[in-house]
Amino acid sequence: MSISIKTDEEVEKMRIAGKLAADVLVMIEEYIKAGVSTNDLDKICHDYIVDVQDAIPAPLNYRGFPKSICTSLNHQVCHGIPNDKKLKNGDIINIDITVIKEGYHGDTSKMFAVGTIPPYAQRLCDVAHKALYIGINQVKPGIRLGDIGYAIQHYAEAQHTSVVREYCGHGIGVKFHEDPQILHYGKPHTGDLITEGMTFTIEPMINLGKRHIKMLGDDWTVVTKDHKLSAQWEHTLLVTKTGVDILTLRAEEENWRDTLD
């Protein structure tokens, strides 16, 4: 396999898919409250993607995944399967949306708080969010993949959190998961060179406790081994001539660079 460089026409389609995925996260926010089940959220997102956006929810039937979105609650790291359990006050939840529009994928996720959450949970969500931005801020032609991973790991560990190693960001385009793998840990000046026209995700999973994970019996849901909280944020990116465009940016994040000191 090799890294695909997108043509201008492909970039246009990636922009459209990215915008649609971001719009789903904006749309779903008002529904996230105590008493709603993750199946309810799955149905609302499914119907919005299919009926309003005229797009396809990529997770549905992807390698046998049974639902249209991933919902990862509290100590769940990623790939949580929506079910009938209801959200409760104090929960944190990652909603991960991937849509396909005109054959191209847009992939993005964010953390939501259910009601009032404890300060340590808020802090973890904030660290994971900043870790994503720090990774994105590295991206420009000429850097290497290891520079992204190093920046994320260095920041997260300085905050006394840990970085999950087993799952990574990925190239994205006609395929959901393309080359290259974008590790969220690593060494500076190592790995493949980043070049203009690449599209890939960064999606660090940051744990409050140790980095180790285990897989549940459903063969999808990944949880922390120590059952402490985990948080993740994800964007789909385009490498431009001079830097990076966030294809899944939401209006609330317009000033994302200001959050980096």
Residue ranges binding Co ion (CB under 5 A): 96, 107, 201, 234
- On whether the CB atoms of residues 58 and 84 are closer than 8 A, the answer is no
- Residue with Cβ nearer Co ion (90 or 176): 176
Is there a contact between 142 and 194 (Cβ–Cβ < 8 Å)? yes
| CB 177 to Co ion: min, Å | 7
Backbone angles phi, psi at 178, to 5 degrees: -115, 170
State whether residue 260 is helix, strand or coil: coil
Residue 151 beta carbon to ligand MF3: minimum distance, rounded to whole angstroms: 19
Residue identified by tokens 């390698």 is: 63
Which helix (H) or strand (E) segment holds residue 39: the answer is helix 38-47
In contact, 98 and 105? CB cutoff 8 Å = yes
CA 107 to chain centre: 7
**Is there binding between residue 178 and ligand MF3 (CB under 6 A)?**
no
CB of 9 to ligand MF3, least distance (A): 24
Is residue 62 within the footprint of ligand MF3 (CB under 6 A)?
yes
Contact flags string 1-40 toward ligand MF3, x per CB under 6 A: ----------------------------------------
Query: What minimum distance in Å lies between the beta carbon of 218 and ligand MF3?
Result: 11
Footprint of ligand MF3 on this chain (CB under 6 A)? 59, 62-63, 65, 70, 79, 96, 98, 107, 201, 203, 234
